[in-house]
Amino acid sequence: MEYTCRLDGAKMICSITSDRDLAAPILCFSGMAPMTATKGGERLRGMGSFTEVALPDLKAGHPHEVVVEYTDGHRAANRAWLPLGPYLRAQGEAIALPYHPKGRVPPLLPDLGPIDGLPLVPQPVNWTPSDGTVDVTGVQCGDDALTAVADLAARRGWRFDGDFPVRITTADMAADAYRLQITPKSIHITAGDYGGRFYAGVTLLTLMQAGPLPCGVISDAPRFGWRGQHLDTARHYYQPQTILDLLDLMALLKLNRFHWHFADDEAFRLEIDSFPELWQKTAFCGEGHLLPALFAGGIKAGGSYSKATARQIIARAATLNIEVMPEIEAPAHALAMTHVFPDMRDPADNGPETSVQGYQGNCVNPAMPRTWDVLDAIAIEVGNLFPFGHLHLGCDELPKDTWMGSPKARALMKEKGLNTTQDLQGWTIAKLAETVVQNGQRPAAWEEAAQGANGGIGHDAILFSWTGQGPGLEAARAGYDVVMSPAQHVYLDMAHSADPDDWGASWAAFISLADTINWDPVPDPALADRIIGVQGTFWSEFTTEDSQIWPMLMPRMLGVAVKAWQVDPISADNLTRLAVSYQRIWPVDRAG
């Protein structure tokens, strides 16, 4: 089989040369949004972006061209939008087509000269140099936090432990703050907690990779307590080692919250005991499975995470001063759940609502008893597995007019005095949050959870502002704690540029390294006490291989780290200089 596909404006021109005669084959593929064929075939059916196109008979050795285009106003922005995982279904057989996308090819960063400051991301609050440097190949690691840094270094192929003297003093300091004094004869660390000692060690490790240690005093403390990075493992199953590698990268950048998004429309990947059929039936998608090959790189794809694997990830994160927050997704982004449990929807619902991904029926119905049997049990079991004590409930992108065609939902709305879809969503997520609170955890959700006549989710929930900063500011004024994650600046699945040969999504913006720092997390100082953090986000609709993630995250995760830790701004040129330096620490063409 031979297969090629290229962009031509809005068109995607695919050429198939079969190695055998095929009668009435069907071309199957996925992509970034719903698609159709405009030449060379006829669209049969689809689910979201997954599309099936009827082709004429194919003759061996004779190329056949199919023109594919996005629908509903979408337009291919770059190579990432080309059909994913194409294959033919013919004569009872699924035949893979040879397509191996190379992902983003990072350009060389310009050499802008010496770094203004220390070769550290984020930059410390204060640096007072003294004369000279000292060659240090390894430091004494009797402390548990420094031992964790040594383990991190060993995993990355560096050395940290050795004989150079280190003295540690405990003092009353802010969480994760530290003071690091480097002299020709010894190093003195002062901190008030594990995080402070660990980050002092990370600073030492990073400086050691750049050459001799500069003598002087670093005084450092983070701006925000929440410094996060999100990873969507629902659309693409990442190997556990890739997640562990990401935790190492987060630690090197002093990020301390891993937002683990393992449930969405396409899959529920955590192996829970309360409803095992949920992950057993959705962990894999493709031919022969409950859901077709949504966002898949082949005929089938997927995987699931055991509780033992989750505990391994949680334990590794703890050594790196990182807490892990799971997300379970409700009431929308629940296509997988509603396919496993159809009784979570009203069978009489005749509403036309369609999600932004093109799915129909991807919302659970709060008027159905089964909905609460499943959601409450999952919230309790997942919450109990993760010791951080925070559970993210989702609550984003509810399709317009959801539940308005459901007699049972309309009856519930009348009983509760609710008038709109947003009112019922607010009631639903608040009810689920009550379960979370009663189970001893703090709920979290996306910005839409503040909607509704009842004030939304309540229950001391943390809200994540993603469509921009405006909804976060409104939520903060309403009394919510807010983590800023504006898509225009820290959605790292967005393409770096408008170049059609680049790679990534584009609905929010094209995000350069400079864009990650050209914003203020607290534009209204009166809300400073309510804006508790900054978080980078990575969605995986176009990721088909784990290795594709690194040139998307880096170097832009440097900007996330800067905004999460630093109060003082940094210039785009100096961030670029630092990015050049960090290429030695974290090459983007491999995990470490």
| Beta strand pairing call for 50-54 and 26-30 | antiparallel
Give the type of residue at 548.
Answer: Q
Kindly report the average pLDDT of the chain as a whole number.
Answer: 96
Residue 434 token pair: 């009550």
- Mapping DSSP to helix (H, G, I), strand (E, B) and coil, where does residue 450 land? helix
Q: Tens digit of pLDDT for each residue in 2-21? A: 999 999 999 999 999 999 99
- Mapping DSSP to helix (H, G, I), strand (E, B) and coil, where does residue 46 land? strand
**Cα end-to-end span (Å), the chain:** 35
Mean pLDDT of the 412-424 span: 97
Q: Tens digit of pLDDT for each residue in 322-342? A: 999 999 999 999 999 999 999
Residue 92, CA atoms < 13 Å, CB-side half-sphere: 0
Task: Report the phi/psi class of residue 146: left, alpha or beta, with left for phi > 0 and alpha for psi in -120 to 50.
Answer: alpha
Give the type of residue at 388.
Answer: F
Mean pLDDT of the 66-91 span: 95
**What residues contact 10, with CB distance under 8 A and at least 6 apart?**
69, 70, 75, 76
Mean pLDDT of the 79-84 span: 96
CA distance 487 to 466: 5
Question: Token pair 């059929």 is at which residue?
Answer: 277
Does the global pTM surpass 0.95?
A: yes
| Beta strand pairing call for 26-30 and 84-90 | antiparallel
Q: Could you tell me which of 529, 468, 516, 453 has the C-alpha nearest to residue 489?
A: 516
Is residue 200 within 8 Å of residue 173, measured between CB atoms?
A: no
Instruction: State residue 144 phi and psi, 5-degree precision.
Output: -65, -35
Is residue 64 within 8 Å of residue 40, measured between CB atoms?
A: yes
CA distance 549 to 546: 6
**Cβ–Cβ contacts within 10 Å for residue 85, how many?**
24
| Structure confidence at residue 573 as a pLDDT band (50, 70, 90) | very high
pLDDT above 80: residue 581: yes
| Structure confidence at residue 589 as a pLDDT band (50, 70, 90) | low
| Structure confidence at residue 131 as a pLDDT band (50, 70, 90) | confident
Q: Tens digit of pLDDT for each residue in 212-249? A: 999 999 999 999 999 999 999 999 999 999 999 999 99
pLDDT above 70: residue 590: no
Residue 139, CA atoms < 13 Å, CB-side half-sphere: 36
Give the type of residue at 409.
Answer: A
Task: Supply the angle between the helices 369-385 and 421-438 in degrees, to the nearest 10.
Answer: 40
**What residues contact 146, with CB distance under 8 A and at least 6 apart?**
139, 140, 160, 161, 166, 197, 198, 201
| Structure confidence at residue 358 as a pLDDT band (50, 70, 90) | very high
| Structure confidence at residue 592 as a pLDDT band (50, 70, 90) | very low
